[in-house]
Structure 1
Amino acid sequence: MKIKATLERIPGGMMVVPLLLAAIINTLAPDLLRIGGFTQALFVDSANALIALFLLCTGAQINVKTFGVSLAKGATLLTTKWVVGAIFGLIAYMLAGDNGLWLGIAPIAVIAAMTNSNGGLFVALVGQYGSKEDRAAYSLLALNDGPFLTMVALTIFGAMGFVDGLFSPISFIAVLLPILIGMILGNLDEDMRSFLDQGSSMLIPFFAFALGMGINFKAIIEGGLGGIALGLMTVFITGTAGYLVFKALKWNPIVGAAEGSTAGNAVATPAAIAAASTGFASVVDIATVQVAASTVTTAILLPLYVAFLVKRLEKKGYLFDNGNLLKKEV
C-alpha cells in the first residue's frame, strides 16, 4: 500500500490530508482520541512540542552567515500582513453601518483575523515548499500572536489608547530559542546538522494532525457568512499580498502566500480588546465567532490556495529544489 506516494501526489498532501482528517474526527467525535495517555499526548496535545522540535531541526540547517536573510524575510512577512490587515480594518470602520458592522462583519474582527497568522500552518507549508532560511523566518512572526498588533492598529486609527501588558517579549524569545539552539548545534557540528535534518520533513504530518484536532467545522456555521467572508479575505488578500511582495523581491513567493491565515489565538483578541476598552463590548460576541470561523476557513482553504499557486508556477516552467524556486532551462 503506497500511503506516502499517494500523499505526495496530492498538493501539500503531507500536511493537508492529516489536518483535514483530524478536523473531521474532532468535529464528529471530539472525544475519540482524547482518552489520555500516549494517544492523546501524540495525536491531540502535541502540536506545540512537535512544531518546536521542527523549528530546532530547521535551525540546525541554517548557516549563521545567512540568518540575516531569514530575519529580513520574517520582517517583510510581518509588515505586509499587518499593513494589509490594518488597511482593510480602517476601511471597515469607515464604511460600517449604524450597527457597527461592515458587510455584516465586525471591523475589530477584520483587524484581529487579517493581521494574525497561523504559525503552525505557515511552518507546515514552508516546510514543504520553502528553504531552511524561509522556515527560520517564523521566528519574527510570533509578534503577530495575540492582540498586540490589533492594539497598534486601533491606536493608530485613534480608536483607543495604547494599553500595556498585552504583549510580552518573553513570548517572542520563547519562539526564537528552539531555532537558535538548533543553529548553534548545526554550526558547531556538521554531523549533528545532518542528524537533525531528518526530522524536518518527518514531523510535518504529525503536527499537522495535532493542529487539525483543534479545528471544529461547526465554527464556520456559527460565524455565518461574515466569518466565511473574513476567512476568504484573509487567504486571498493577505496571502496574495505576501505572494506578490516576495515575488517582487525575487524570493520564493509561495512563502509569502503561506502567511495568509488566521491562528486560533486570534479568537481571544476581541475579548482582550474589549477588556481594555468597553467601547468594543457591543461587538465582542459576533467578532469572536467570526474570527473563529476565519480560523477554520483559512486552515482548510490556504493549503489548497498554495497548492494552486504551486501548480501555476510549475506550468510556467518553475520547479522547487530544496525549497528554492528555480526556472527550468529550455
Structure 2
Amino acid sequence: MKIKATLDRIPGGMMVVPLLLAACINTFAPNLLRIGNFTQSLFVDGSSTLIALFLLCAGASINVRSVGVSLGKGVTLLVVKWVVAAIIGCIAYLFAGSNGLFLGLAPIAIIAAMSNSNGGLYMAIVGQYGKTDDKAAYSILALNDGPFLTMVALSIFGAMGFVNGLFSVQSFVSVLLPIVVGMVLGNLDTDMRDFLAKGSDMLIPFFAFALGMGINFKAILDGGIAGVLLGLMTVFITGTAGYFVFRAFRWNPIVGASEGSTAGNAVATPAAIAAANVAFQPLANLATVQVAASVVTTAILLPLYIAFLVKRLEKKGKLEKYGIEKVVKN
C-alpha cells in the first residue's frame, strides 16, 4: 500500500491530509482519541511539543551565516501581515454601519484575525515547500501571537489608547530558544546537524494531525457567513500580499503566502481587548465567534490555496527557481 506516494501526489498532502482527518475526528467524535496517556499526548495535546522539536531540528540545519536572511524574511512577513490587517481594519471602522459592523463583521475581529497567524500551519507548509531560513523566520512571527499587534493597530488610528502588559518577552524567547539550541548544536558539530536535520520532515504529519484535533467544523456554523468571509479575506488578502512581496524580493513566494491564516489563540483577542477597554465590550462576543470561524476556514482553505499557487508556479516552470520540488512525483 503506497501511502507516502499517495500523499506526495497531493499538494501539501503530508500536512493537509492528517490535519483534515483529525479535524473530522474532532468534530464528529471528539473523545475518540482523548483517552489519556500516550495516545492523547501524541495525537491531541502534542502539537506544541512536536512543533518545538521541529524548530530545534530546523535550527540545527541553519548555518550562522544565514541568520540575517532568516531575520529579514521574518520581519518582512510580520510587517506585511500587520500592515494589511491595520489597513483593512481602519477601512472597516471608517465605513462601519450604525451597528458598528462592516459587511457583517466586527472591525476588531478583522484586525484580530488578519494580524495573527497560525504558526503551526506556517511551519507545516514551509516544512514542505521552504528552506531552512524560512523555517527559522518563525521565531520573529511569534510577535503576532496574542492581542499585542491588534492593540498597536487600534491605537495608531485612535480607536483606543495603547495598553501595556499584553505582550510577554518571555513568550517570544520561549519560541526562539528551541531554534537557538538547534543552531548551537548544528554549528558546533556537523554530525549533530546531519542527525537532527533528518527529523524535520518526519515531524510534519504528526504535528499537523495534532493541530487538526483543535479544529471543529461547527465553529464555521457558529461564526456564520461573516466569519467565513473573514477567513477568505485573511487567506486571499494577507496571503496574496505576502506572496507578491516575497516574489518582489526574489524569495520563495509560497513562504510569503503561508502567513495567510488565523491562529487559534486569536480567538481570545477580542475578549482581551474588551477587558482593557470597555468600549469594545458590546461586539466582543460576536467578534470572538467570527474569529473562531476564521481560524477553521483558514486552516482548511490556506493549504488548498498554497497548492493552487504551487501548481501555478509549476506550470510556469518556476519551481526550480525557488527550490521547490515538483508537486507530482514519479
Interval containing the TM-score (normalised by the shorter chain):
over 0.9
| 1-structure distance, mates of 2:324, 2:299 | 24
**Runs of 4+, deviation exceeding 4 Å:** none
Cross-structure match for 1:256: 256
Cross-structure match for 1:20: 20
Alignment of 1:1-330 (within 5 A): 1-320=1-320, 324-325=323-324
Which amino acid letter does the alignment assign opposite residue 67 of structure 2?
A: F
| 1:185-207 C-alpha deviation (Å, 9 max, x unpaired) | 00000100000011000000000
The alpha-carbon deviation at position 318 of structure 1 amounts to: 1.7
| 2-structure distance, mates of 1:283, 1:123 | 32
Identity, % of aligned pairs?
Answer: 75
| 1-structure distance, mates of 2:292, 2:324 | 34
Over 3 Å counting, the alpha-carbon distance change for 1:124 and 1:326 in structure 2 is closer
The alpha-carbon deviation at position 324 of structure 1 amounts to: 2.3
| 1:256-285 C-alpha deviation (Å, 9 max, x unpaired) | 000000000000000000000000000011
| 1-structure distance, mates of 2:323, 2:52 | 23
| 1-structure distance, mates of 2:222, 2:154 | 26
| 1:31-54 C-alpha deviation (Å, 9 max, x unpaired) | 000000100000000000000000
Which amino acid letter does the alignment assign opposite residue 10 of structure 1?
A: I
| 2-structure distance, mates of 1:206, 1:18 | 8
Which amino acid letter does the alignment assign opposite residue 324 of structure 1?
A: G
CA RMSD of aligned residues (A): 1.2
2:155/2:162 contact within 8 Å kept? yes
1:231/1:293 contact within 8 Å kept? yes
| 2-structure distance, mates of 1:197, 1:163 | 41
2:129/2:325 contact within 8 Å kept? no
| 1-structure distance, mates of 2:80, 2:318 | 25
Which amino acid letter does the alignment assign opposite residue 234 of structure 1?
A: T
| 2-structure distance, mates of 1:151, 1:208 | 30
**Unpaired runs of 5+ in structure 1?**
none
| 1-structure distance, mates of 2:39, 2:200 | 22
The alpha-carbon deviation at position 325 of structure 1 amounts to: 4.9
| 1-structure distance, mates of 2:273, 2:46 | 29
1:129/1:320 contact within 8 Å kept? no
The alpha-carbon deviation at position 319 of structure 1 amounts to: 2.2
Q: What count of residue pairs does the alignment treat as equivalent?
A: 326
| 1:10-50 C-alpha deviation (Å, 9 max, x unpaired) | 00000000000000000000000000010000000000000
| 1-structure distance, mates of 2:157, 2:325 | 42
Structure 2 SS opposite 1:318? coil
Structure 2 SS opposite 1:35? coil
**Unpaired runs of 5+ in structure 2?**
none
The alpha-carbon deviation at position 157 of structure 1 amounts to: 1.0
Structure 1 SS opposite 2:123? helix
| 2-structure distance, mates of 1:8, 1:180 | 31
